[in-house]
Structure 1
Amino acid sequence: MTAPSILAFAGLCVLLAITPGPDTFLVLRFSLARQGAGIAASAGSALGSMVWALAVAFGLAAILQESAELYRVLKIVGGLYLVYLGVAAFLASRKHSRAVQTEPRRTSIRSGFLAGAVSTMLNPKVGLFFLAIAPQFVPHDSAALVDTLLLGAIDAVVACAYLVVVAMLAARAMTWLKRPRVTKTLERVSAGILAALGIGTIALAASE
C-alpha cells in the first residue's frame, strides 16, 4: 500500500471513531467509576477490532455477509450483551448510592478490558466494515493478509487513541464534579444509553 492510501484510511478511521457508538458509551460508563477501567475498555475495544480484522484477513467474516441469519443472531447476542452491561451498571449505581463508603466505588481494570473486547467482538458491523473497506485499499498484487492486518492495526490504534482521550476527559470531569448526586446521575444515564443501544440493536435485528 502507498502512503496516501494509508493516510486516507486513517482519516476514515478518525471519522468513524468520533461518531458516537456502543464503544464510546461503554468507555464513558467505566471512566465514570475509574479512569483506568475506561482506558482498559478502550484497549479491549481495540483488541476486539483486531480480532475482526484477523477474521476478515482469513476470510471468516465473509460468512456473515453471506448468511443473513447468522448476522442477525450475532447482532441479537451483541444487543443482549449491551443490555446486560447497562442493567448491571444501573444496579451497581443503585447499590453504591445506598451504601455508606469512605472511598469511591472502584471498577476493576480487568472488567473494563473484557467488556470492551467482548462488546466489539459481538458487533458484526465492525467485521463488515473491514470486509467492505479493505478491498478499496489493498492492492490486488500485494500480500492481502499482511495489508488487511495493517489496516486493522491502524483502525485499532486510531479508535483506541480517541477512546483513551474520552476516558481521560470523563475521569477529569468526574474529579471536578465530585458531588454524589451528579456522579449517580451520569452513571445511570450512561447505563441507560447502553441498555437503549442494546434494545435498539435487538429490535432492528428482529425486524430484518
Structure 2
Amino acid sequence: MTLSLLLSFIGLCVLLSITPGPDTFLVLRYSIADARPGIAAAVGSALGGMVWALVVAAGVAALLEQSATAYRVLKVVGGIYLLYLGIRALVDHRKARKEAAAAGAELAAAQARPAAPASIRSAFAAGVISCLFNPKVGLFYLAVLPQFLAEVTFANTLALGAIESSIAAVEMVLVALLASKAVAMLRKPVVRDRLEQISAGILAALGVGTAASAA
C-alpha cells in the first residue's frame, strides 16, 4: 500500500467515525452516569470491529454478501439486541424512579445523586455484541478495504481493519469523555432523567429500524 492510499483510508475512517451510528449512541447511553462504562463500551465495539476485520480477512464474510438470508438474520438479531438494550434502560429508569418515590423522605437526596453507572463488564459486552451483530461492519470491510490494497492478503486486510477499529475507538472514547463531562455540568435531576430517556429511546428506535430494514 502506498502512503497516499493509506492517508486516504485514514481520512475516510475519520470521516465515517464522526457519523453517529448505533455504537455511538450505545456509548452515549453508558456514559451518562460515568465515563468508564462508556469507554468500556467503546473498547468493546472496537474489539467487535477487529473480529469483523479478521472474518473478512479470512474470506468468511463473503458469505454475507452472497446470502441475503444470512445478512437479514444477522441484521434482525442485531436490531433485536439494540431494542432490548433500549427497553431495558427505560425499564431500569422507571424502576429507579418508583423506588425513589417509595422512599419518600429520601427522594430529594436520591434525585440529587448521579445515576448509578452500569458495570464496566456489561458495558464492554454490550459494545462487542452490538458491533458483532451489525453486518454492515463486515460488508463495509469487504467492499472498502480491497480498494485501498494493491495486493489483498490476510495481513494487509487485517492491518486496515485494525486501523479503522482504532480510529473508531478513539472517537468513541472521546464521545464518552465529553458526554460524561457534559452530564457532570448538568446534574439537575430533570435534565439527567430526560437524557437517560432520550438515549434509551434512540437505542430502541435504532433496534426497530435495523430489524425492520432487513425485511
> 2:87 aligns to what?
87
5+ residue gaps, structure 2: 101-109
Q: 1:123 corresponds to which letter in structure 2?
A: N
TM superposition shift of 1:134: 1.2
> 1:201 aligns to what?
210
Asked if the contact 1:97/1:184 (under 8 Å) is kept, the reply is: no
- Written as runs of structure 1 = structure 2, the 5 A alignment for 1:52-63 is 52-63=52-63
Q: Is 1:170 matched with 2:179? A: yes
Task: Tell me the SS of whatever aligns to 1:127.
Answer: helix
> Which stretch of structure 1 is more off in the superposition, 87-96 or 40-49?
87-96
Matched residue pairs, number?
204
Q: Is 1:47 matched with 2:58? A: no
TM superposition shift of 1:205: 0.5
> 2:29 aligns to what?
29
Q: TM-score, normalised by structure 1?
A: 0.95
5+ residue gaps, structure 1: none
Q: Is 1:191 matched with 2:203? A: no
> 1:182 aligns to what?
191
Asked if the contact 1:23/1:116 (under 8 Å) is kept, the reply is: yes
Asked if the contact 2:114/2:187 (under 8 Å) is kept, the reply is: no
Q: What stretches of structure 1 move > 6 A for 4+ residues in a row?
A: none
> 2:126 aligns to what?
115
> 1:139 aligns to what?
150
> 1:150 aligns to what?
159
Question: CA 1:8 to 1:203, structure 2 compared with 1: closer, same or farther past 3 Å?
Answer: same
Aligned-CA RMSD value: 1.2
TM superposition shift of 1:180: 1.3
Q: TM-score, normalised by structure 2?
A: 0.92
> 2:76 aligns to what?
76
Indicate the structure (1 or 2) with the bigger Cα radius of gyration.
Answer: 2
Asked if the contact 1:96/1:105 (under 8 Å) is kept, the reply is: no
